Structure 1
């Protein structure tokens, strides 16, 4: 039981020097790689850059103790930073003390919700976010972030959290374009794109191993930060109008207590819930993918507790909402991390930088961080997936398109809420009209297929109806109508066999419909039978009076029902289509 809630106890007793060496190396590499990201994502949320460093310290330690993924790296991420900024801007002015306080409350609420969901084993709620909706949300959020960073690349100001307001603000300030800032930003952008695309193949050609080449290829942001910071310092670019990060407070974060303002808490409840769910989905997807590669096990409910603990830690250490980051997790994995202790080492490294070396970041141009964010975030725009969704399922594409459109025009909260509601609505619509087919036997076999798709044998006085969906309140009436239409179409019908091979559930509403079907068929002189009822479904039926009142029988297989009702070969109507 203790290992269930403290997963650290499952791997720490087996820790050894070999694992220590691998985790220590990974921690050093992650420290160097994610410092620019942490600074950039704090600025994206409208918070001081140092908040990104604070949010990479104790939250990572808490996740190492409570999380089940061996390689997931927790900290600020782009999507959550964007959602944080959008939520906080509605309750306070960016840069104000109230804004910082609201960030702590948002972290606290998100952490509390995640822990509660984990303890209540509610991880399955994340399944309501379909993959097309998530893909659409990530793509549109990436576009929003890229537009917002265009202002920093050009050295102008822009405000807003929708595409329309951001573009309008950019257009209004375009006359203030700062050319030195734009030159540094575009140069950094081109360098990062070229580094991401061409450096790994080039390094492999030069004889480096693929893992080493991959890590060096991902070090582009670090090189860009070092080069532009040095350039800014040597040329005095701050005096020439190039915006820099400026003075970053040294030292570790002080203990913070989120303000107990009920009005503020109420205003941030829904944003906190959305941030919690989106952060969990992004994190668990990455954790499960890496765990499968290493043949390890992830507990979604304990992941909720681990991420919740990380956010609670951020709330009490001047941080911001965090989750498992895509890029930092990939870096951690490729750097050779073997246990969550790698995340602890990375937190120690970032803590050392925060304690001693923040003055070195004073001259870092903000346009460099904007270029870093832009290159990293645009990888989330998955054009091939959007095209595939369009070709495969127009209903899923409609949910994706609605999410994209509303995220861009109304903001991240409206986009994700609409996507979830539309996905649920489409699911209910599809399952409310379950596919069904009258089937017949393929000659000489025990297999049954649709009379409309195959040449099959049928019995004139028996209808074999296969239901291809679980039966619940949304489709119960539809089943009644389907059965009665078949009876009306074939006056000589004596038996109806419902084939339940695809039925995994019959809820109370569907049970009432089955009882009504049984009664109405009996009044019409037709006997109702069931076939291939699954064990759990049969167990529930036995707890009702339905089986006692059933006019027919329950057959183990459709073929058994066929044999029971087939009087003789001469009475079999070959190839008769009943639907």
Structure 2
């Protein structure tokens, strides 16, 4: 009976997770959600087409990606306002990575992108199911800022040929820049004029009101202009015939040999998706004063990626700009995303009308998106705060833009961890003094009121004692003992910040005890936690020090052992 009741509870719990933002839906929310859906649709149509091109995929797959991401997140996610779909942040990452394996014009490219999307989806969903979202915390703010700056450079460099009406180039970022510069004498004035005009429309609309569909207006207007003036004859490159039939279901070319080159790219893309999803859902939840389950949101985005791959599209991600548009249009629930996805499905047959859409329009939209991605203010703030962390951001930016995304993130994370290790390995041993008329103790070099007690040395080591800093601990403590002179009778180690003690640290502490015993100086520890006590017991130091020399506070130790 208990097992049946438990199973029933799990089933009911799973059902309560589905479409959670629609629970308790009110009729007063309908108008706001439908207005948000129209706003989202006007933004999504040009953006998804442009992102599909950035990903090197057929334009229609951008619509499939948006529908898959929106529906699956609405079904499984917890954030009622977040929009999920094709995203320009991750598109150049996997496009560059997969293009290094197989040419973007080869049939295998689309197949590998589908396999990549499913692989990314499985990884992101597992992060949610296993509650492993903390892995994204290895991407510090400077690294993320540098990464976004590098992505923005990649987007601009990739789109410049289309904006200028020049033939496209392949290869590294520097090679693409070189090819573009060498062809400046062949700029198509019509294409450049259209691109600049669309860019201005989008910027002005954004400045007036984010809800204004500047990109959609530019898309429709430029398409009509090209068709009416027959600008094909003037060399303006257009989108051309767009396949708009049903998606091809399933995975093609799936094999172990295909998964090999896809796996590392999927890992990087998944890490970026986890970071951006967590940041987006938390930011808008705080703004809207509602609760979210970040791990459920990972599950929703992961499921969206899996479905996107299975319908022949590409990886999807949480979108801060589109989510902001939903919020500003008074959207309250995932009804807005579902309605926009449904309307987009109905519009798919009409995609054929966009065959005269100039590529310069899509390039202008993507370049505008790139200007919003690059975190100039954050980079300036980081530079003002700390030169080393700004160096991390700059290294990430340049490596991502010029070498590769995986290499950029790997190098920056490795440097950041090395820097944290360096700081932890060089901690400062604080000598404490008592503040008169209180039971408090404070560093002598940080408080004007702290007074040293004659014959007593109290030190604070506010970090784990481990192999990287054990030598520094021995050196500093020995120097403090020597400085105290022959009158020293008691040393108290305040272990408040010592959260761990490894073998090397324990051996170093034993050496210091032997040194103090030789000088006939007593030793005690204050504020040790369970982990350190267990380490002391395993190493035999607990018996050496004595349980009666472990105290709850520095004051208790001094009062008990100093006459």
Fold-level match, TM-score > 0.5? yes
Deviation at 1:35, TM superposition (A): 1.0
Is the 1:73–1:328 contact (alpha carbons within 8 Å) kept by the matching residues of 2? yes
Q: In 2, Cα distance between the equivalents of 1:189 and 1:64?
A: 32
Query: What whole-Å deviation, never above 9, does each CA across 1:211-237 have from its counterpart, x for those lacking one?
Result: xxx412xx2111111211111121122
User: What is aligned with 1:441?
Assistant: 434
Is the 2:36–2:329 contact (alpha carbons within 8 Å) kept by the matching residues of 1? yes
- Secondary structure of 1:320's partner? coil
Change in 2 beyond 3 A, CA 1:374/1:515: same
User: What is aligned with 1:25?
Assistant: 35
Change in 2 beyond 3 A, CA 1:471/1:357: farther
Is the 2:60–2:242 contact (alpha carbons within 8 Å) kept by the matching residues of 1? yes
- Secondary structure of 1:79's partner? coil
Q: In 1, Cα distance between the equivalents of 2:239 and 2:278?
A: 33
Matches within 5 A, 1:28-177: 28-160=38-170, 162-177=172-187
Deviation at 1:516, TM superposition (A): 4.7
Is the 1:252–1:351 contact (alpha carbons within 8 Å) kept by the matching residues of 2? no
Is the 2:84–2:318 contact (alpha carbons within 8 Å) kept by the matching residues of 1? yes
Is the 2:20–2:78 contact (alpha carbons within 8 Å) kept by the matching residues of 1? no
Q: In 1, Cα distance between the equivalents of 2:30 and 2:508?
A: 62
Deviation at 1:86, TM superposition (A): 0.6
Matches within 5 A, 1:198-237: 199-200=208-209, 214-216=210-212, 219-237=213-231
- 2:389 is the counterpart of 1:396: yes
User: What is aligned with 1:312?
Assistant: 306
- Secondary structure of 1:439's partner? strand
User: What is aligned with 2:317?
Assistant: 323
Change in 2 beyond 3 A, CA 1:501/1:68: same
Query: What whole-Å deviation, never above 9, does each CA across 1:369-408 have from its counterpart, x for those lacking one?
Result: 1111111221222223222212222221221121112122
Change in 2 beyond 3 A, CA 1:118/1:360: same
Residue of structure 2 aligned with 1:547, choices 527, 542, 551: 542
Compare 187-196 and 174-183 and name the one that shifted more. Answer: 187-196
Deviation at 1:281, TM superposition (A): 0.5
Normalised to the residue count of structure 2, the TM-score between the two structures is: 0.91
Change in 2 beyond 3 A, CA 1:558/1:161: farther
User: What is aligned with 1:387?
Assistant: 380
Change in 2 beyond 3 A, CA 1:263/1:10: same
Change in 2 beyond 3 A, CA 1:294/1:193: closer
User: What is aligned with 1:468?
Assistant: 462
Compare 96-105 and 521-530 and name the one that shifted more. Answer: 521-530
Deviation at 1:537, TM superposition (A): 5.5
Q: In 1, Cα distance between the equivalents of 2:85 and 2:534?
A: 47
Q: In 1, Cα distance between the equivalents of 2:505 and 2:15?
A: 39
Change in 2 beyond 3 A, CA 1:109/1:443: same
Change in 2 beyond 3 A, CA 1:33/1:119: same
Query: What whole-Å deviation, never above 9, does each CA across 1:217-274 have from its counterpart, x for those lacking one?
Result: xx21111112111111211223332111122222332313242232221111111100
Is the 1:144–1:161 contact (alpha carbons within 8 Å) kept by the matching residues of 2? no
How many residues are treated as equivalent by the alignment?
A: 550
Deviation at 1:368, TM superposition (A): 0.9
Change in 2 beyond 3 A, CA 1:108/1:158: same
User: What is aligned with 2:494?
Assistant: 499
- 2:511 is the counterpart of 1:531: no
- Secondary structure of 2:460's partner? strand
Q: In 1, Cα distance between the equivalents of 2:304 and 2:466?
A: 39
Deviation at 1:442, TM superposition (A): 2.7
User: What is aligned with 2:405?
Assistant: 412
Q: Note the aligned Cα RMSD (angstroms).
A: 2.4
Change in 2 beyond 3 A, CA 1:514/1:408: same
Q: Where does the alignment leave 5 or more consecutive residues of structure 2 unmatched?
A: 1-9
- 2:498 is the counterpart of 1:488: no
Q: In 1, Cα distance between the equivalents of 2:300 and 2:501?
A: 36
Q: Where does the alignment leave 5 or more consecutive residues of structure 1 unmatched?
A: 201-213, 568-579
Q: In 2, Cα distance between the equivalents of 1:69 and 1:477?
A: 49
Q: In 1, Cα distance between the equivalents of 2:315 and 2:343?
A: 20
- 2:176 is the counterpart of 1:183: no
Deviation at 1:343, TM superposition (A): 1.9
Is the 1:462–1:565 contact (alpha carbons within 8 Å) kept by the matching residues of 2? no
Is the 1:435–1:469 contact (alpha carbons within 8 Å) kept by the matching residues of 2? no
Change in 2 beyond 3 A, CA 1:557/1:374: same
Is the 1:459–1:566 contact (alpha carbons within 8 Å) kept by the matching residues of 2? no
Compare 402-411 and 293-302 and name the one that shifted more. Answer: 293-302
User: What is aligned with 1:334?
Assistant: 328
- 2:357 is the counterpart of 1:364: yes
Deviation at 1:418, TM superposition (A): 1.1
Deviation at 1:466, TM superposition (A): 1.3
Deviation at 1:77, TM superposition (A): 0.9
- Secondary structure of 1:464's partner? strand
Deviation at 1:112, TM superposition (A): 1.7
Q: In 2, Cα distance between the equivalents of 1:162 and 1:331?
A: 34
Normalised to the residue count of structure 1, the TM-score between the two structures is: 0.89
- Secondary structure of 2:228's partner? helix
